[in-house]
Structure 1
Amino acid sequence: MAQQRRVQLSTQRPCSTVCVLGTELALDVCGSAPPGAASFQAQATPGVKLWVLHEAQSVKLPSSVSRWPLAPGPELLLAMDHPSKDVGDEKVRISYFREAGGVPVGRAVLYLTCVEVSLDADVTRSGAVSRTLLDKASWTWGPEGHGAVLLVNCDRDDPDAEGLDNEDSAVRSYNDLQDMAQLLLRTRGPRATFAGHRLLLHLDFGDADKIRVFYGGNGAELEMFKPVLGGSKLAYTVRPSRHHHDSVFYVEGLAFPDVAFSGLVSLHVTLLESPEKSLLESPIFTDSVVFRVAPWIMTPNTAAPLEVFVCSVDNNEEFVAAVGALAERAQCPLTVCPAPQNRQDRWIQDEVEFGYIQAPQKTIPVVFDSPRDRGLKDFPVRSILGPDFGYVARQAPEGASSLDSFGNLEVSPPVTVRGKEYPLGRILIGSSFPRVGGRRMAKAVRDFLVAQKVQAPVELFSDWLSVGHVDEFLSFVPAPDRKGFRLLLASPSACYQLLKEKQEEGFGEAAMFQGLDRVPKPTINEILANEELRKFNDYAQSCISWNRDILKRSLGLAEPDILDIPQLFQSNSTSEAEAFFPDMVNMLVLGRHLGIPKPFGPVVGGRCCLEQRVRELLEPLGLSCTFIDDFFSYHVLLGEVHCGTNVRRKPFAFKWWHVVP
């Protein structure tokens, strides 16, 4: 429905007003009727379309009815199709008549000037601003949805800048402008009309800290671009140029969706008129555009790897070399964070999570910095943040726990659950059952993840583990069939079953940890006879089984979608679980190439029986298993290969705005 404005008429003197292209004017024919008038006749110049609403009927004028009764209150509407060339170059004349009179008892004349005022953005999500009949003031999800998208300008295009691009109010490069969404204000019509009215670009008070708008006038020089909206600036007066009918503004996002911010922001342009200099201006037209700030999106293990990260610390040279060799086989670049930057903090998986943000015209990777803030705390800002590589962080004012490290933050591949699609997968985080002293991920981090909307988080039970991360008991690997992946779960039951098989085959004296110095070497017989270890692993299995059921329900999985990876756990002094041998699900996934912690299991027939079982499970899926020795460099420090590496991956081909949350 077109925007409509009511206009008063007068039989005492001619009136004039502005009609904005695409809107309707409702003329108050009854309010201006002289005493005794019973009907009216309306006539207009060719550039004006007239119609009467009478007794629920809409009649276009001129019609077979020449006069219309003033009772019971008809409406006279008009619209114009083209901007005027001159002020008042079109008009409407209303003639009033008595009940049976042939001579008008009064006339009202309204001079009209048509102007075009339109605020446009990439509402169709095509990558370019275009005119559209879609409702610009609404935003809808799904393949048939519409609405403009805005990126948080969280990269740093100028290497000499101190912080993120959106932390200052300057445009430092043309690359900076390309990270922003264009907002196009179109104006057409007589220049004198705009000189006599005011055109105001404005935003809602609640959005002032969420976006910033830059304008460079008609010039293209960087120094011409100034912030005109955002912060304390809620409105900006636009003065259309004599020679330029389009004004291009650039909009940057300042904040991601979060617990108190839906991600929706609105910008408006309003045409104001002031009848007298001493009177306040009044609005006669408003056009609005709604943007949604693009969410931060995680990528799953099954996405193609683009870059592998690992830290160089004391005595992990062989581990770094092994990861490098795996990355080379996967044809994936390797970035080594040197010791001066990591300050002997090897747990790069825990420090950051790589994701991305996307608009129709641009996609940029964004690193999410965890609240753990140990030796690697400066690495994301100093070494990752840069041109077209963004940064976001959340703090834990209540104090960070181990569950705030991002080994406790994973995402599934795309799934469908009872008919509902999650085309970008679902985020998985570890938590605890409600209990005194139970650990949970920081509220600020959880709220942020939920607010992104497109990867609805699932909470799992991980507080039974000493470190408490979901990557200690689950992983995903690509597969050529079924859903395109398998969920791998650590399984004490599968491990005991395997060891029992080997015992029955006569290999009960085969020992663990062969070739490792100063490490006890229990045999299969000793492990199976250890009742305390058995009871603790029954407990560990019950915790994993609980998570298995949650994952099946939340990800729509069936048993054939899950593979049980043999694993044992042992209790620490506070009855929390730690891996008894290197935790094989805590693996590095680079396409079909897997870097798996070497378990140092019992050697049977010249082969580690644990490695052999994992190969039997994974190689039929077309996966290549490489077992990496991380025993002294990571395992004894309560982490494994996945904990000590990180991967930036290819964004989804699926566009997030096609999701239906």
Structure 2
Amino acid sequence: MLGTRHSSRAALALTVIGAVLAPVSPAFAADPPRVDLRADVNRDGRVDVTGATDTADEDTWSARRGAVLLPNIDDDTKRCPVKGANGRPLSDAKLAACNDAADSKVNGSADAADLARVRSVPMTNLPATASGTLKVVKGGSKTRVFVKRSTGWTQVTATTRLTAAELRSGVEFGVEGRDVIRDSTVWDGRAVIRLTVASGGHSTSDDVTLRVAPLLTHHHLQKAQQLLVTKVKGKDQFARQQQAFVKGLAAEVASAGIGKPLLTFDKYGDIWAQDFVEPGYVSMTGPDGRRQAIRVMLRSAQADREAGRELFEKLRGNGVGVVQVSGVRDSEEWTLNSMGNLETIPPHSYGGRSFPAGRIIMGERKDNGSKPARAMRTLLKSQGFQDPLLLDTSWLHVGHVDEFVQFLPADTPRGWKIGIADPEAGLRLLREAKAAGHGRTRMFSVPGARGLPAPKETIDQALASKWLVKDNTMAAQGIKANLEILKRETGVTDAEVVRVPALYTRGTGDEEQGNRMPRLTRMGAGKAPDAVREYGQQKELARHADGAAARESVMTSAYVPGAVNGIVLGDNRYLAPRQWGPVIGGKDIFTSAVNAAYSGAGMKVSYLDDWYTYHLGAGEVHCGTNTLRDASAPWWRP
């Protein structure tokens, strides 16, 4: 009887609430199902659905913690065309419109390594009538989500339904970004993903937040992996000289232990490979726990610079994407938008600010208010990690920061030093040589080339120039002011500064330097005209000269090939332009001084002749090359 009465009470209870409980399990009777969506918040490559390592801060994002997704802008299967159906080259806009994130498929490898993973915690007691939906509630236009099923990856749309069986087992999603952050006031890179599960008239949801990986530029503590250079076709004088430069560069790269061969630009004849592109990268920890990176070739904000098209036509592919900016205004000075005007301070912390991936520097002209293109500066700042620091390059003709400053790996607590051009040291070398009775020694030891006369001025004549001392006094003042900014921003001390002898000149065929060849300037771009290929008699190639020729009288370029305008090939290997300075006692006095400066910083220097190829164009070895560096280190750690 007792058992009967108990059974009757139970039956009565079911009668009262049976309409609610009858279709569902006991776990669902008391509460709606608990949805738990998780992402790789701690960035270890694994979405933890059994423990708690990925639960804290899943709805926030910071430099150190928060799930990361990649802007999937490479072209894994090389499907993106470079020509239209009519066989004509595509426009820049159409070239840039195609990448892996431009379609609704998972391109490339079956493991979908470019997709960030998001998982749902298995809902084991879920009734068979339950279903789920997934929605990107923030950043939806910039984000695409796929669901992994037995048939492969399928795009999640508004009509996608997740079955109860899937939710019981736990669902795996893959997320890709459709672009990099371009303006954080428009989109800050965050994507909020919401999983909603409904059953029996109830529904519950859970959100996770991801942010697209920042587009970062390389710094010199990252190992050099491959060098880029333009290879000019033809058999004329300039082409042969430039081809010799490329051959010499290949030998230096191999000697430095860099295994990959040179990657050459061959189509457009723009020799300034440093200037039409800045190599960068985006990365996250992939699903296998290894770093998953996409190289991003950041095209210069110079829409009329054809060489940038070859980034799409030749480089874009598996693991390599290209970004170009739009909206550049005519009023923004053309030369400042070259990427030689963008360098990166290595990682550092100082004054309460931390830059674990380094910090960008760019040059501006404070004399007339010109800055690099606002669209580019906005893009770089919007990444939130390498806040660009502007230096004053008004005193330089071309106006690029690589003409006077660099950053060198060093065995110091900081891990690096600043290399800085030192015009006062350059003048001192000449004055000491003159005082020692060598004033009649030729200023330059470079030989003539194929009918082109070698410069004939002597040390005495150089020092007697009414401009040389004035130019270098001005240059020294400009460099000192910029160095003070760098020291103030980074905490670098004088002991961490490597001063490299240098000399600058306005070099425009001044009557007292009549043997100096007219300059073919680095401000130019595109295919070099015949006159230029004959070493040129034009002083200006830039389409937007903006009165630059008139300004030449008060702006400078390197007189002796600028040693700081070289390439860091390794922790202790440096490639500088051959100095061709005065030879006294069988030694080039500038080469000896440059060797001493770099050896004091633990660097072994080798030299490459760029006199007739780059130096006379107001650039050096660095300006004519570019470097792909290792991007495997996590950018979120100091």
When normalised by structure 1's length, the TM-score is 0.76
Q: What is the aligned partner in structure 1 of residue 414 from structure 2? A: 483
Taking structure 1 as reference, are residues 326 and 469 closer, same or farther at Cα in structure 2, changes over 3 Å only? same
Write the mapping of 1:192-271 to structure 2, written as runs, cut at 5 A. Answer: 193=127, 195=129, 197-204=130-137, 206-220=138-152, 225-229=153-157, 236-241=160-165, 245-259=169-183, 260-271=186-197
SS at match of 2:313: helix
* Aligned sequence identity (%): 29
CA shift at 1:194, angstroms?
5.1
Taking structure 1 as reference, are residues 228 and 379 closer, same or farther at Cα in structure 2, changes over 3 Å only? same
> Residue type of the partner of 1:299?
H
CA shift at 1:307, angstroms?
0.7
Q: What is the aligned partner in structure 2 of residue 123 from structure 1? A: 41
Q: What is the aligned partner in structure 2 of residue 542 from structure 1? A: 477
Which segment is superposed worse, 158-167 or 407-416? Answer: 158-167
Alignment partners' CA distance in 1, 2:27 and 2:402: 72
Write the mapping of 1:427-442 to structure 2, written as runs, cut at 5 A. Answer: 427-433=360-366, 436=368, 438-442=369-373
Alignment partners' CA distance in 2, 1:337 and 1:87: 64
Q: What is the aligned partner in structure 2 of residue 71 from structure 1? A: none
CA shift at 1:15, angstroms?
7.4
1:500 counterpart = 2:500? no
SS at match of 2:164: coil
Q: What is the aligned partner in structure 1 of residue 56 from structure 2? A: 135
Taking structure 1 as reference, are residues 194 and 397 closer, same or farther at Cα in structure 2, changes over 3 Å only? farther
Q: What is the aligned partner in structure 1 of residue 24 from structure 2? A: 87
Alignment partners' CA distance in 2, 1:242 and 1:478: 52
CA shift at 1:187, angstroms?
4.5
Q: What is the aligned partner in structure 1 of residue 566 from structure 2? A: 587
1:150 counterpart = 2:54? no
SS at match of 1:241: helix
SS at match of 2:134: strand
Write the mapping of 1:10-21 to structure 2, written as runs, cut at 5 A. Answer: 14=17
> Residue type of the partner of 1:188?
M
State whether residues 460 and 547 of structure 1, in contact with CA within 8 Å, keep that contact through their aligned partners in structure 2: yes
SS at match of 2:77: coil
State whether residues 224 and 629 of structure 2, in contact with CA within 8 Å, keep that contact through their aligned partners in structure 1: yes
Higher relative contact order (CA 8 A, sep 6+): 2
> Residue type of the partner of 2:190?
L
Q: What is the aligned partner in structure 2 of residue 576 from structure 1? A: 555
> Residue type of the partner of 1:121?
A
CA shift at 1:621, angstroms?
3.1
Alignment partners' CA distance in 1, 2:358 and 2:113: 29
5+ residue gaps, structure 2, are 1-12, 82-97, 233-238, 509-549
State whether residues 141 and 657 of structure 1, in contact with CA within 8 Å, keep that contact through their aligned partners in structure 2: no
When normalised by structure 2's length, the TM-score is 0.79
> Residue type of the partner of 2:575?
G
SS at match of 2:155: strand
Q: Deviations over 1:261-308 (max 9, x none)?
A: 222210001234675xxxxxxx64210110011111222123211111
Q: What is the aligned partner in structure 1 of residue 223 from structure 2? A: 304
SS at match of 2:636: helix
Q: What is the aligned partner in structure 1 of residue 533 from structure 2? A: none
Write the mapping of 1:609-628 to structure 2, written as runs, cut at 5 A. Answer: 609-628=589-608
1:417 counterpart = 2:350? yes
SS at match of 1:342: coil
Q: Deviations over 1:51-73 (max 9, x none)?
A: xxxxxxxxxxxxxxxxxxxxxxx
Q: Which has the higher helix share?
A: 2
Q: Which one of the candidate residues 368, 371, 376 is aligned to 1:445?
A: 376
> Residue type of the partner of 2:193?
L
SS at match of 1:535: helix
State whether residues 568 and 575 of structure 2, in contact with CA within 8 Å, keep that contact through their aligned partners in structure 1: yes
State whether residues 356 and 363 of structure 1, in contact with CA within 8 Å, keep that contact through their aligned partners in structure 2: no
Taking structure 1 as reference, are residues 242 and 622 closer, same or farther at Cα in structure 2, changes over 3 Å only? closer
CA shift at 1:241, angstroms?
2.9
Write the mapping of 1:29-68 to structure 2, written as runs, cut at 5 A. Answer: none
Taking structure 1 as reference, are residues 87 and 12 closer, same or farther at Cα in structure 2, changes over 3 Å only? closer
Alignment partners' CA distance in 2, 1:17 and 1:287: 24
5+ residue gaps, structure 1, are 1-9, 19-84, 92-110, 276-282
Q: Deviations over 1:573-603 (max 9, x none)?
A: 4122222221111101101222111121111
CA shift at 1:139, angstroms?
2.8
Alignment partners' CA distance in 2, 1:402 and 1:368: 16
Alignment partners' CA distance in 2, 1:272 and 1:188: 12
Q: What is the aligned partner in structure 2 of residue 359 from structure 1? A: 284
Q: Which one of the candidate residues 527, 539, 563 is aligned to 2:498?
A: 563
> Residue type of the partner of 2:440?
E
State whether residues 422 and 500 of structure 2, in contact with CA within 8 Å, keep that contact through their aligned partners in structure 1: yes
Alignment partners' CA distance in 1, 2:168 and 2:132: 15
CA shift at 1:506, angstroms?
1.8
Alignment partners' CA distance in 2, 1:378 and 1:600: 35
Taking structure 1 as reference, are residues 184 and 300 closer, same or farther at Cα in structure 2, changes over 3 Å only? same
Q: Deviations over 1:363-382 (max 9, x none)?
A: 32322222235242222112
State whether residues 449 and 457 of structure 1, in contact with CA within 8 Å, keep that contact through their aligned partners in structure 2: yes
State whether residues 88 and 113 of structure 1, in contact with CA within 8 Å, keep that contact through their aligned partners in structure 2: no
Alignment partners' CA distance in 2, 1:334 and 1:360: 25
Q: Which has the higher strand share?
A: 1
CA shift at 1:329, angstroms?
0.8
Taking structure 1 as reference, are residues 335 and 258 closer, same or farther at Cα in structure 2, changes over 3 Å only? same
Taking structure 1 as reference, are residues 302 and 242 closer, same or farther at Cα in structure 2, changes over 3 Å only? closer
State whether residues 125 and 168 of structure 2, in contact with CA within 8 Å, keep that contact through their aligned partners in structure 1: no
Alignment partners' CA distance in 2, 1:135 and 1:17: 34
Q: Deviations over 1:426-462 (max 9, x none)?
A: 11111122x54x4211111111111122223211112
Q: Deviations over 1:64-102 (max 9, x none)?
A: xxxxxxxxxxxxxxxxxxxxx9715369xxxxxxxxxxx
Taking structure 1 as reference, are residues 263 and 395 closer, same or farther at Cα in structure 2, changes over 3 Å only? same
Taking structure 1 as reference, are residues 606 and 541 closer, same or farther at Cα in structure 2, changes over 3 Å only? same
Q: Which one of the candidate residues 606, 623, 627 is aligned to 1:647?
A: 627
SS at match of 2:600: helix
Alignment partners' CA distance in 2, 1:16 and 1:457: 64
Q: What is the aligned partner in structure 2 of residue 3 from structure 1? A: none
Q: Deviations over 1:484-528 (max 9, x none)?
A: 322111222111122112222221222122243224322222222
State whether residues 202 and 236 of structure 1, in contact with CA within 8 Å, keep that contact through their aligned partners in structure 2: no
Taking structure 1 as reference, are residues 182 and 419 closer, same or farther at Cα in structure 2, changes over 3 Å only? closer
Which segment is superposed worse, 575-584 or 637-646? Answer: 575-584
Q: Deviations over 1:75-131 (max 9, x none)?
A: xxxxxxxxxx9715369xxxxxxxxxxxxxxxxxxx436645321221232211112
Alignment partners' CA distance in 2, 1:14 and 1:243: 27
Taking structure 1 as reference, are residues 245 and 635 closer, same or farther at Cα in structure 2, changes over 3 Å only? same
1:457 counterpart = 2:457? no
State whether residues 508 and 523 of structure 1, in contact with CA within 8 Å, keep that contact through their aligned partners in structure 2: yes
CA shift at 1:190, angstroms?
5.2
Q: What is the aligned partner in structure 2 of residue 35 from structure 1? A: none
Taking structure 1 as reference, are residues 90 and 217 closer, same or farther at Cα in structure 2, changes over 3 Å only? closer
Q: What is the aligned partner in structure 2 of residue 290 from structure 1? A: 209
Alignment partners' CA distance in 1, 2:578 and 2:558: 13
Q: What is the aligned partner in structure 2 of residue 328 from structure 1? A: 254
Alignment partners' CA distance in 2, 1:301 and 1:175: 34
Alignment partners' CA distance in 1, 2:151 and 2:609: 60
Alignment partners' CA distance in 2, 1:115 and 1:633: 71
Taking structure 1 as reference, are residues 250 and 352 closer, same or farther at Cα in structure 2, changes over 3 Å only? same
SS at match of 1:177: coil
Taking structure 1 as reference, are residues 652 and 610 closer, same or farther at Cα in structure 2, changes over 3 Å only? farther
> Residue type of the partner of 2:285?
P
SS at match of 2:36: strand
